[in-house]
Amino acid sequence: MPNHIGARKLAMAFTVRLLLFSSLFLLPVSVFAQTNGSIAVGDFLTATAANSSPWLSPSGDFAFGFSPLGSNDLFLLSIWYAKIPNRTVVWYPLRDNEAAVAPKGSTLNLTANSGLVLKSPQGDDLWKSGTSGVANGVLNDTGNFVLQDRNSESLWETFNNPTDTLLPGQTIGRSRQLSSRQSETNYSKGRFQLLLQEDGNLVISTINLPTNFANSPYYATDTTSGTVAGSEGKELVFNASGYLYVLRENGGKYNLAVGEAVSARDNYIRATLNFDGIFAQYYHPKNFTGNVSWTLRWSDPDDICQSITEDSGVGVCGYNSICTLKGDKRPTCGCPTGFSLLDPNDPYRGCKPDFIQGCEEDELSRTKDLYDVEVLTNTDWPISDFVQLKPFTAEKCNESCFQDCLCAVAIFRSETCWKKKLPLSNGRVDTSLNSLAFIKVRKDISTLTGAPQPPCPDDKKKKSQTTVIRAESVLLGTSIFVNFILGAALCLGFVLIFRKKHVRSAEIVLDSNLRSFSYEELQEATNGFTEELGRGAFGVVYKGVLQIGSVVQVAVKKLNYVMQEIEKEFKTELNVIGQTHHKNLVRLIGYCDEGQQRLLVYELLSNGTLASFLFTDIKPSWRQRIEIAYGVARGLLYLHEECSTQIIHCDIKPQNILLDDYYTARISDFGLAKLLMMNQSRTHTAIRGTKGYVAPEWFRNMPITTKVDVYSFGVVLLEIICCRRSVDVENNCEEKAILTDWVYDCYLQGELDAVVDYEVQALGDKTTLEKFVMVAIWCIQEDPSLRPNMKKVIQMLEGVVEVKVPPCPSPFARTCIDESFVSQV
């Protein structure tokens, strides 16, 4: 019996020791379960610098959370390599082509009914995965975040919703795609797309934003059925070993990268469609010391500057630019002399001319010696030519372009001359061309780029200068002489133009650049006034085509009524308007005053009105809106202060602001209100303008001055900032119906992020946003004496003059009374 008891005790002791020993192994398993990348429903992350701990994969290689964007106020929901110091983002969600950027204080919640839900600090949905039945989330060591059900089956995963990057273990099936970013730091959808087509061909194309229309591909694997059955591509595979290939239906492979793959065990590997259209594979050692960057293993195409042709789109660098390939096969973009970047912060958006070039502008200029010529070697814009001349010499090629008002650049190569007009497309440097590019550059650019303009009718004639041709690198070893021959040719050209049959009935008004057209001519030009472009208080605008030296598209406005007894004043006023010339004004070409008919002929601008640009579902970029605001302000300053005869517009609104080919703001109908209001008392002028833009003094029997335009500009400036109309009767929220009142309320409460609807670009430039809102509030003051003039407005917008805190614009409004009461208390 004692032996049995002893044996039992010995067995129990052994069991206890065994359990204790086993617990040593169970403890790490328990700890691992807490850090295995699994996320429970109800877990959340907050976008703040202080609480930005992300969800990690089990190895700690990948992190999922909020990445700061430039400042602590904006964050990008994303997945990135957690152990690499310079954060490399491999996934981020898109919503309507915009990146899911979150203001400070936003939260990401894992929910059972909607999956991942990103909310703003105000509780608005910024993005959601839209997945129901979620039991948990898992961030794998592959960098894939998966939402699972109770059976651990995948409901949604980032690998099936890629953005611009592929990781080892990831595949793309047919009709799936990668989309590039807009720029290195802007994660919204860019201009390039990698797609495995339904026919199995893997292609890279440019797309025409804001649509998803793809141009002809500039890169293709040609993995279609061809002559061998089953040779079409089935899926793009980036396997766990780091090999990247198109898997064919018959099991064959089309390898994108040649040579041995790098070790996926020792390196992080990724394949990214870069913002400049290059698809590239990179690797980075996992164990490293010091500052180690990503190494390029493979990329395509070899030369994107040459690869994008006419069918493939505009080109990586945009219009009027020059693409040059760097040593790493990445493109760099620049502007030719006389051109500047559309966006100084984004060289890939293209360039704009710093001067106005055109047949009308050249013809109406008082100075005939207008241009210099810049010469570039081995540079071409291959798809912008409108005429080819052969056989030709370099001198004749340059001379032909110099005398042609449509020609912006001439390319000479192999006894052939190609003349090209703006905008220039797909510019590139190609050392194999052995060519010369002659670029026409306006001599006196300063008068056309926003600098103060001379008084309209009285500016002095500039001294004629000899055309200088700068040709530092002339390949053909010949000198290019134009001098007096060009001057004579220009003069002769103008004489011939004026003598053409097409304009035999067009007489020039004394001391004016305007032309007098017959009613019959304008009726024929507009095809019987059939295509209406728009209508307003003063008349209806029709689209037309006139032959004035060349074929010109015009907008013809039929005025409602002008009294016959003011015919003399009508022509006098037209003379004043006809001598205005500014890059931010629509040019008035001519008029008709035949019988009872009064018509005005304007140049036609391609991109329509500011209203159609602003008030759409797709919001224009913040930088574009800033430039448009500057343009409108400069145009008004010119009318108010830089013409010898002051012009008050009286009807500034988005419908009267047009956009040219480069989205430069051009004010239209300037002077028309004043022209139709002649012989009326200054203090009893009938109200002119549009609801929502009219200054209070119109209703108060007060003198009408340039300050009425300042008030209207303030309203338009708010519309540009907010991308919404000044009066929104359909808005369900009564407090937001009147834009000026609502913005001032937001300004008082420090909620300018709501004014721009939490727009990422605007919030990233908060200093400018606040400054522009304050300037707008100064402009809409009910008391005209408190409003700044347009010169002061521009100085405040440009930061030359400090913008002080504005008073309440409407002293008797409820908001201002409440504000005054609170301050007294």
Active site residues: 651
The secondary structure of residue 70, as a DSSP letter, is S
Q: Is 396 annotated as a binding residue?
A: no
Nearest partner of 314 among 277, 339, 343, 345, judged by Cα: 277
CA distance 650 to 339: 34
Rounded (10°) angle between helices 790-797 and 622-641:
150
CA-based torsion, 504, 508, 513, 516: positive or negative: negative
Q: Could you give the residue ranges of the DSSP H alpha helices within 291-393?
A: 304-307, 359-364
One-letter-per-residue 3-state SS of 251-310: CCEEECCCCCCCCCCCEEEEEEECCCCCEEEEEEECCCCCCCCCEEEEEECCCHHHHCCH
Strand stretches in 92-232, DSSP E: 94-95, 98-99, 101-103, 107-111, 115-119, 125-128, 136-139, 145-148, 154-157, 165-166, 170-173, 177-181, 189-196, 202-206, 219-220
Residue 756 to residues 747, 752, 798: CA-CA distances in angstroms?
12, 7, 20
Distance, in Å, from the CA atom of 265 to the CA atom of 440, rounded to the nearest integer, reads 57
Residues 586, 588, 591, CA angle at the centre, nearest 5°?
150
CA angle 710, 724, 783 (to 5 degrees): 25
Between CA 750 and CA 753 the distance in angstroms is 8
Residue listed under structure tokens 């009142």: 741
Peptide bond into 68 cis (omega under 30): no
The total of other beta-carbon atoms located within 10 Å of residue 428's CB is 25
Residue type, 338: G
* CA–CA gap between residue 499 and residue 548 (Å, rounded): 11
Do the bridges between strand 379-380 and strand 351-353 make them parallel or antiparallel, or are there none, so unpaired? unpaired
Site of tokens 């005054």: 820
Mapped onto helix, strand or coil, the DSSP state of residue 570 is helix
CA-CA distances (angstroms) from residue 613 to 143, 197, 466, 545? 40, 33, 43, 24
Q: Could you tell me whether strands 588-592 and 550-559 are parallel, antiparallel, or unpaired per DSSP bridges?
A: unpaired
* CA atoms 433, 435, 440, 441: torsion sign: positive
- E-only strand ranges, 504-636: 507-508, 515-516, 532-535, 539-548, 550-559, 588-592, 599-603
Tokens of 205: 């194309």
| Of 132, 147, 127, 119, residue with least CA distance to 40 | 147
CA dist 429 and 516 (Å) reads 47
HEC letters along 726-788: CECCCCCCHHHCEHHHHHHHHHHCCCHHHHCCCCHHHHCCHHHHHHHHHHHHHHCCCCHHHCC
State the binding site for ATP.
558
State the binding site.
558
